[in-house]
Structure 1
Amino acid sequence: MTQHTFTAENWPIAATTLSFSGVTTSGVSVQDAGEDVWGAAMAEIAHEGFTEVDITDSWIKPGDLTASRLEALKSVAHDEGLTIEAISAIRRSVIDPLAWEDNLAYSHRTIDAAVALGCSVVSVGLHRPLLEAQQRALWFWTADGPSDPTDQETWQLAVTRLRDLGDHASSVGIGLSLEMYEDTLIGTADSAVRLVEDIGHSSVGLNPDLGNLHRLHRPVEPFLDSVAKCVPYANYWHVKGYSRIEDSTNGTIMTAPVPMEASTMNYRAAIKMALQAGFSGAFCTEHYGGDGLAVSARNRDYIRRLLAFDLSDAFSPEVVR
């Protein structure tokens, strides 16, 4: 079996800050709020038993903070015993036809911010801001969003710009991870793998966030088939669970967020497959709806239980699916 640096007890498993609003109850942007607001969120994350956190930029945009504010953010996390493992920069596509220049510059600033915060990785994607219909929906993924063109020119722009970010990340000693998301050039396992291979950079890997695909109310590739293709390229992993119901008699497909262990996504098999492929990156547990932080903590504990077996002598590589 592949040897891994981490144990089940110390494998980095971060809480996402997706569970926290980017606006305080008094209407102030968390970006501009006092350190006490940041510290309160960090304390709540630590109280749920986390030792790592992913700063998802729907809460705070580290790439837009000054050096002193970055130091303050790092300090309030450390005061609660938290390591800032990663930044997830979302909906800032470097091939957005309108905003790509701003998004590319922002992504570079985010990499620099990640270094200041002591992160191991920055996760970026090609998904764009939610459309009005998505914002109105209870679950935004049930409404159609923007789609990437699939022509060769757009593909090459993605390769060139993401390789540029990979060069930057490599030069400062961190990884760049590409988050899978529907209707983007990282929207299927085959396309995601091809993009990483075309970028061809040792610091650029996949964030196989297959929950983003499994939740869609449309046909998708079987979960474990996608896992098998993606995990050899994975260097970071957003994980979350969905229950999926398909009625082949009338074509109805329905999904809802659930804890990972209750999901129709078989993470017990998926994590075995990832370890066999040599995955050694951090996890980030996510959940939409209700008490997302509590479910994320439950997901973390589930992963640790799986790792405890999969990293033990009892594990058999012959049984992975």
Structure 2
Amino acid sequence: MRDTTIRRYNPETWPIASAMIHRKNDLGDGRTVQDQSADEWGVALAEVAAAGFAHVDPFDSWIRLADLERSRLDEFMAVTRDVGLSIPAISTARRSVIDPERGDEFLEYGHRVIDTAAEIGAGAVSFGLFGPLTQVQQQALWFWTVQGVVNPDDRDVYDKAVARIAELGRHAGELGLEISLEMYEDTYLGTADGAVRFATDVDLPNVKVNCDLGNLVRLHRPVEDWRSMMEKLAPFAGYWHAKNYYRMEDHGTGMAMSSPAPLEFGVINWREAVRMAFHAGFRSAFALEHYGGDGLSVCATNLTYLRKILRATMVTS
């Protein structure tokens, strides 16, 4: 197995990727990003590099690298290198291995993603158990304000999820890759306790938790304090989607509201969260996400902020 730890990185070289969620797969002209030319891919990727990034996570909501023919994958990687970017990890979204209709298909796809990640030199793959956006969610300004798909309270389905993620984890382990399981509301990874339980049940050293606390603090409902969550999650932390939200709560009525925030301004104290994870052994890459407005520019600001945190954390360790 390859050594995929990041002990060799310092704060200046620690992989911090831009997530490609600021671009859509559907181009609106009958094509998708899968169909674009290498030059068109280059435009999108050069924009990321120009924002100050040396790393990118293509996210399969933008392009499904595992579904490209070999020659096309080679084209994509050539363009990526030409603009000065590398890919530390690949994130999947809304392709749950326990989807009631397409779970078998998504399991097979997950294996292809792992093979693709190894082929291009990525060190991790992020998987989640969350389903597709409902029609109402797609129409909402912020999709997380509307109830989405819920993992069933069914022991057989839970066990199936554990078994399938373990299958992917063993495959990844053979190739020296990390699997990171994304926290997301109303899934088996929808709380800190649930995520710890799930990762413990999978019981593989290369299967970690993607501590995407932003997915939870943005909910318009009661949520556990982020510090309490991070205390539980820190020993399990792997490849990490980082974002933040403003959150307002009315204690009298129980009403909660949120909106996206730059990493340093939201309710999560990322300086403290990173420090907690680092001292518990976290040595994986980050991906920066932001919804709304000029998401790429906000992520570029977040890149500078996160590097400052890493410098301070590693100096004091």
TM-score, scaled to structure 2: 0.96
- Within the candidate set 129, 144, 147, 1:144 is matched to 147
Where does residue 258 of structure 1 map in the other structure? 261
8 Å CA contact retained: 2:222, 2:254: no
Within 2, Cα distance between the matches of 1:39 and 1:247?
46
For residue 236 of structure 1, what is the aligned residue in structure 2?
239
Q: List per-residue Cα deviations over 1:98-126 (Å, max 9, x = no partner).
A: 11001101111111111222111010100
2:171 paired residue number: 168
Partner of 1:18: 21
User: Are the counterparts in 2 of residues 71 and 117 from structure 1 also a CA contact under 8 Å?
Assistant: no
Q: Is the 8 A contact 1:5 1:280 kept in 2?
A: no
User: What are structure 2's unaligned runs of at least 5 residues?
Assistant: 1-5
Matched, 1:192 2:172: no
Deviation of the 1:25 alpha carbon:
5.6
Question: Which amino acid in 1 is paired with 2:130?
Answer: H
SS at match of 1:56: coil
Kindly indicate whether residue 9 of structure 2 is the aligned counterpart of residue 6 of structure 1.
yes
1:209 aligns with 2:212: yes
Which deviations, in whole Å up to 9, do the C-alpha atoms of 1:276-302 show, x marking residues without a partner?
Answer: 101000011100001000011111111
User: How many angstroms does 1:5 deviate by?
Assistant: 2.9
- Decide which moves more: 62-71 or 125-134: 62-71
CA distance in 1, matches of 2:254, 2:155: 33
> How many angstroms apart in 1 are the aligned matches of 2:51 and 2:187?
34
The question of whether the paired residues in 1 share the 8 Å contact of 2:183 and 2:191 is answered with yes
Residue of structure 1 in register with 2:305 after alignment: 302
Question: 1:34 corresponds to which residue?
Answer: 37
Distance in 2 separating the partners of 1:207 and 1:171: 20
Partner of 1:219: 222
The one of 86, 101, 105 aligned to 2:108: 105
Percentage of matched positions with identical amino acids: 47
The runs of at least 4 consecutive aligned structure 1 residues that moved more than 6 Å come to none
How do residues 57-206 of structure 1 correspond to structure 2 at under 5 angstroms?
A: 57-206=60-209
Distance, in Å, in 1 between the alignment partners of 2:231 and 2:8 is 22
Q: Distance in 2 between matches of 1:161 and 1:85?
A: 23
Aligned to 1:319: none
Match of 2:249 in 1: 246
Q: Deviations over 1:143-182 (max 9, x none)?
A: 0001001222111101100000001111122111100000
Q: Deviations over 1:217-249 (max 9, x none)?
A: 000000011111112111210000100000112
* Secondary structure of 1:69 counterpart: helix
Determine which of 39, 46, 50 is the counterpart of 2:49: 46
Distance apart, 1:260 and its partner CA: 0.8
Are the equivalent residues in 2 in contact too, given 1:240–1:259 (CA < 8 A)? yes
Q: Distance in 1 between matches of 2:176 and 2:82?
A: 25
Q: TM-score, normalised by structure 1?
A: 0.95
Distance 1:69 1:227 in 2: 40
C-alpha displacement of 1:37: 1.2
Kept after mapping to 2: 8 A contact 1:193/1:230:
yes
Q: How many residues align?
A: 312
Q: For 2:58, what is the secondary structure of its paired residue?
A: strand
Q: Deviations over 1:10-53 (max 9, x none)?
A: 11100001111213364421111111111111100000110011
**Distance in 2 (alpha carbons) for counterparts of 1:247 and 1:213:** 17
Which secondary structure does the structure 2 equivalent of 1:206 belong to?
Answer: strand
Q: What is the rounded CA distance, in whole Å, between the counterparts of 2:100 and 2:175 in structure 1?
A: 29
